[in-house]
Amino acid sequence: MLLVCLLAAILSADRRRWGWFFVAYGLAVASRQSALAWLVLPGWACATSVIKGNWRSRETLRPALTAVAGLVVFGLMTAVMNKTHAQTVITDRLFAEFEARRALIIAATGALAFVLAGGGSALLLRLQGRLRPLTATQALGGVALIIVAAAVLRVGDPRQLMKFEHSSFAGPLGGCAILGLFTAAILGWVGGGVAVKPRYLVYAGFNLLLISLRPDLWDYYLGDLMIFGLLAVSMPPTGPAREASRTTNWPCHGLRVAGIILITAGVAYEFWCVLQFKLRLDRAHATNSIVEQAFRQGRVTPHQFYGASFGYIAWHLDPYFIAHEGAHDPHIAHFWNYLLYSIDVRTKYLGWLGTIEPFKSEYPAEPRKLITSEVHPVWWIFRARFTLERATPLANPPPHIPMRLEEYRRVPFPLNDGEWRELIAHERL
C-alpha cells in the first residue's frame, strides 16, 4: 500500500494536483513516519516556482500550503496517536545513538540502490529505441564492467550491509538476482545519453538523509529510493537520432538479447518469489495454529513458542517484554531471548509433492516426542502434515531470560474470523 501511495503522490505532484497528493501522503504517514520525507515534493515545487520569481502565484502558494498542512498532520498524529514501543526506544533516540560511520554506510547503500534502479530504467528506454544505441566500444566496456561487478560481488556481498525482511534475496539465487540488477544498471548507464531529472535527485537525497539516521538498514527502507531512481531517468530533450535508433550493429543485437534474458529471468525470479512467499505464509499459518492449540490446552508454556512465526511470538511475548526487560531496550526483538529451544515443528508434504527432492519429508516423526499434529493446505492445492514435538536439548543453548509466569497476561491468538471479531469487540469494551 505504501508504494502505491508513493506512486500516487509522485503522479499528483507532477500534475500539480496537490489535493490528491495530500490524500496519498496522509494515508501513508498515518502508518509510516518516514513518509514525512515525501513533503520534499511540494517543497521542491514551491522552491522552483520562487526561483522563477512567482512569489505570489498559485504555483507557489498551493504546494507551500500542502507542505505546511502535511507537517501539521504529522504533528497532530504524533501528539494524538498512541506512541509505539519502537518510537519510544528507537525513534526518540535517533540522534543520541547516531554514528557517522554507520550513517555513511547506510547512505552509500541507499545511493547505490538509487543508481541501480536508474540504470534499469535507462536499459528499458534503450531497448525501446528511445536512447541512442551502444557503440562497440561501449558494449565491450559494459561487458568488462559486468565482469568486474561479478568479481566484486563475489568478494564483498552488499547484502551484508543490511537486514532483510524478505528472505527471497537470501542464498545463491538471491545473489544471482543482485548480479542481475548490476548487469541491467551497467547496460543502461554505459551508453550515456541519459537525462536525469534534478527533482528526483533532491527527493532521493532527502530520503537518504532520513534513513541514514536509523541504527540499522532494512531492505524495505530502499523501496522509496528505487522508485525515485526508476522515475528519475528520461531520454534527453533532443531524443535519440532517428538514424541512430535504427542501427542494427552487433552491440544492438547483443543488447536486445541481454535485455530479453534479463527481463525473462527477472519475471521468472519474481514468480518464484511469489511461490516462496505463499509457501512461507501457509507454513506460518499452520505452525501458528498447532502451537496456539497446544498453548490453549496447556501443553506448551509461553517460553516454548520457538518454531512459530515471528509475529505470533511477538503477539504473546512482546507485551510482557515491554513491561519488563524491554522497557528501555532499543532492540525491540529481544523478547526472542525468552524462548527455550524445547519444541520443534516438523513438516511432511503429502501426495506427490512429498516425492520431489526439495519437499521430501524433513525428517521422520518420532511418536515418543509428539505433542500434536495437524494437516493443513499449502500452495492452494497441496497438503502437508505439521507435527509439534519435544525437541532434543541443544548442547550449547543460546542465552535465555527466565519469565515470571505469574505476571504473564494470556491473550489467545485468534485463529479464525469469529475469534478476531470477538477479540475486537472485547477490546472496544
C-alpha to C-alpha distance for 71 and 68, rounded to whole angstroms = 5
Tell me which amino acid residue 388 is.
L
User: Which pLDDT belongs to residue 93?
Assistant: 66
Comparing 175-189, 237-251, 303-317, 401-415, which segment has the lowest mean pLDDT?
237-251
Give 11: exposed, middle or buried? Use CB within 10 Å, 0-12, 13-18, 19+. Answer: middle
- 239 pLDDT more than 60: no
Question: Span 356-369, mean pLDDT?
Answer: 68
Domain end, chosen from 20, 53, 81, is at 81
User: Which pLDDT belongs to residue 429?
Assistant: 47
User: Which pLDDT belongs to residue 184?
Assistant: 93
- 218 pLDDT more than 80: yes
- Helical segments of 190-244, H only: 198-211, 223-232
pLDDT digits (tens, 9 = 90+) for 99-142: 888 889 999 999 999 999 999 999 998 888 888 788 888 888 98
Comparing 54-68, 311-325, 386-400, which segment has the lowest mean pLDDT?
386-400
pLDDT above 90 covers a percentage of the chain that reads 38
Among residues 168, 416, 171, which one has the least CA distance to residue 278?
168
Residue 171 forms part of a structural domain? no
Among residues 25, 29, 30, 66, which one has the least CA distance to residue 45?
66
Residue 17 forms part of a structural domain? yes
Residue 174 forms part of a structural domain? no
User: With bands split at pLDDT 50, 70 and 90, how would you rate the model's confidence at 245?
Assistant: very low
pLDDT above 70 covers a percentage of the chain that reads 90
Give the number of other CB atoms < 10 A from CB of residue 230.
18
Place of cell 532499543: 330
Beta-carbon contacts of 25 under 8 Å, excluding residues fewer than 6 positions away, are 5, 9, 35, 38, 39, 70, 73
- 394 pLDDT more than 60: yes
pLDDT digits (tens, 9 = 90+) for 287-332: 999 999 999 998 988 888 888 888 999 999 999 998 888 877 777 7
Residue 131 forms part of a structural domain? no
User: With bands split at pLDDT 50, 70 and 90, how would you rate the model's confidence at 31?
Assistant: confident
Residue 161 forms part of a structural domain? no
Residue 283 forms part of a structural domain? no
Among residues 345, 385, 391, which one has the least CA distance to residue 369?
391
Domain end, chosen from 47, 81, 115, is at 81
Parent domain of 320: 298-428
Comparing 127-141, 145-159, 275-289, 352-366, which segment has the lowest mean pLDDT?
352-366
Residue 64 forms part of a structural domain? yes
C-alpha cell recorded at residue 83: 506512541
DSSP string, 28-78: HHTT-GGGGGGGHHHHHHHHHHHHTT-TTSHHHHHHHHHHHHHHHHHHHHH
Residue 145 forms part of a structural domain? no
- Exposure class string for 375-394: b at 16+ Cβ within 10 A, else e: ebebeeebebbbbbbebeee
Which residues partner with 387 through β-bridges? 346, 373
Number of domains in the chain: 2
Tell me which amino acid residue 358 is.
P
Domain end, chosen from 66, 81, 96, is at 81
User: Which pLDDT belongs to residue 395?
Assistant: 63
User: Which pLDDT belongs to residue 158?
Assistant: 82
